[in-house]
Structure 1
Amino acid sequence: MIGYVISRILKKSRGSALIDSAVPRSSKVESGCTLFSSSFGEHSFCGYDCTFIKTSIGSFCSIANNVVVGGARHPIEYVSTSPVFLAHKESIKKKFSRHDYRWEPNTVIGHDVWIGEGVLIKGGVTIGTGAVIGMGSVVTRDVPPYAIYAGNPARLIRLRFSESIVEGLLKSRWWEFSEDKLKAAAVHFNDPEAFLKSQNIV
């Protein structure tokens, strides 16, 4: 037990690297994470040792440990994929040339998305609001709102709710509510139908 407590303290004592990135005070990013040209919305949580490159993360997201999102591509159409021939890729000191290479497009993670531990998400993918990504999944294509995806490559398991509930939740845009309005509405968050009725949507 003491060893576990010590390991947790040591884990928390490490820092995180935020490069050209923004995390609001209402959100939390645990130690060991790297954010490059990325941003978090309000009230989102990110676990330990995650990497986000050119990623926009919405509000109320829950992200587990060891998640990797986005990244630079290695140009397979060049003679070599090695970084010693690429500009801005300083993995190795020795350079033989500095050819330009393209980053993957921006990755978008919507609001209220739950991403399980060890998930890999390809750059340029959009994860829809309310989606769930199962632990250890590899996401290579867009994920619709309120869909549950899992596997390698990740595939649709099912929708979280009926299409009418999904449509209503997206229409409500509850993640944009003021704190007072959200506090009042949250009494119905355990019942999507009751919540939508309280918002005069169903």
Structure 2
Amino acid sequence: MTWTLAQRLFLLCYSLEKEKFELADHNGRGAVLRAAALAELSLDGKLTTVSGNKVVRSPGQPPSDPFLADVWNDVSADEPQRWLPLVHHKAHTAQEPVRAQLAATDTITVRRHKRLGVLPVDRVTLDDTGPVVALRDGLRDAVLSGAGQAARLPLPDAVTAVFAAEVEMNSVFTRTDRREHKETFATLAVRVDDALPGLRRALHDTYLSNQVTGGG
């Protein structure tokens, strides 16, 4: 099954065992989805890195994916921009379009119910857990098998793994995983930083900011 990086990370946020989002903060999920979209646009040549860690929108047509197109349009075609505001900007609205895409393809089901009989909340369930289990376990096997195996990960997979670790997505890599395989994660982070200078740091700073402010 082919998913965008944003869709993959949305699905990986969901704990299959707990049947809920491990990354509970709404803005935190939105930030990682925005960062994933920016990464995919850059890897596809839709964004151009300039001035070290700034980007501009590349000439051409927008992506066919609506969420990617929205993020692409947020990037100036003339004035180089830093990653941080691009990750943070509209993070609070990023989840809904990605979730709607996955619901439209019957990947997830969203049901509205009332918590404690009063507060309306949406409950997300996976229609088929198999592909998500395969995605999660494939990443875990590659990263936790050691630096040699992790070094052979395709760059989009490396980005997915690094972003999941950066926002402490325990549904993919537990705290123990991240501690015991610290060197492997550091090696992958360098690879991602070489391809996308500054983007991982922007996601990290946004995530920390959300933890401090309790955003979401």
When normalised by structure 2's length, the TM-score is: 0.20
Higher relative contact order (Cα pairs below 8 Å, separated by 6+ residues): 2
When normalised by structure 1's length, the TM-score is: 0.21
Q: Which has the higher helix share?
A: 2
Q: Which has the higher strand share?
A: 1
